[in-house]
A = this chain, B = another copy of it.
Amino acid sequence: MSDVRVHNFTISLDGFATGAGQAPDAPFGHAGERLHEWMFATRFWHQMRGGRGGSVGADNAFAAMHGPGIGAEIMGAGKFGPPGWQDDPGYKGAWGANPPFHTPVFVLTHRPRPSVEMEGGTTFHFLDASPAEALSQARAAAGGRDVRLGGGPSVIRDFLTEGLVDHMHVVQVPILLGRGVRLWDGLESLEEAYQIEAVSTPSGVTHLTFTAKNR
């Protein structure tokens, strides 16, 4: 069976994946872009934006694992758009006409709407479903390839709690956000189900990989 994978999911030293005060011009709230500067410096990111250059060290090697082998993504409503996007029937996500997914994307929301086909192979589907139900649909759409779990933190927590994550890459950035949404809440003893590896890189971040022991 295909794997469920989390990639490039970034948290502060105090465990926040999102700051407080999310808004259209501040998708990560008061965190701004500080959580993702490590990724913006990589060749993976430069190329995804159509540019050249960027680092090719360990940060890039991890970042570039985001795409290969993925056939669908599942994301929470909070990643798809800022609070209130459900009230705008024409809203099509935070990424413009050609989103960087290029696969079916399943958006978990209590207010589903018709699917939207974008440029570049991304189609947004909207589901009011449990993690297991959403995964079942995403797997069917992924055509045998893996399903990426795109976040945010509460969605990843829900899937972890149900034992549905096979591989998780978390990046810890040495800043303290103090407030926002934590990744780790309610996950006591998670390490029992995973082999965990840690590596710090010259940019100052620490990459943590979780590999499910039952896979």
Query: What is the interface of chain A mostly: helix, strand, loop, or mixed?
Result: loop
Q: Give every chain B residue within 8 A of A174 (Cβ-Cβ).
A: 191, 196, 198, 208
Alpha-carbon gap, A14 to B16, bound state (A): 10
Chain B residues with Cβ below 8 Å from A208 are: 13, 174
Question: Is A200 on the interface with B (CB-CB < 8 A)?
Answer: yes
A179 at the binding interface (Cβ < 8 Å): yes
Instruction: Enumerate chain B residues within 8 angstroms of A205, measured Cβ to Cβ.
Output: 198
Tally of this chain's copies: 2
Report the interface size class on chain A.
20 to 34
A88 in the interface (beta carbon within 8 A): no
Contact pick for A176, options B175, B184, B199, B204, CB 8 Å? B184
Using A14-B15, A178-B186, A197-B204 as known contacts, list a sample of 6 further A-B pairs with CB atoms less than 8 Å apart, ordered by residue number in A: A14-B182, A172-B198, A174-B191, A174-B196, A176-B187, A200-B200
**Chain A residues with a Cβ under 8 A of chain B:** 13-15, 172, 174-179, 182, 184-191, 196-200, 204-206, 208
Query: 20 interchain pairs (CB within 8 A)?
Result: A13-B184, A13-B191, A14-B15, A14-B182, A14-B185, A14-B187, A15-B15, A15-B184, A172-B198, A174-B198, A174-B208, A176-B189, A176-B190, A176-B191, A177-B188, A179-B188, A196-B204, A198-B200, A199-B200, A200-B206
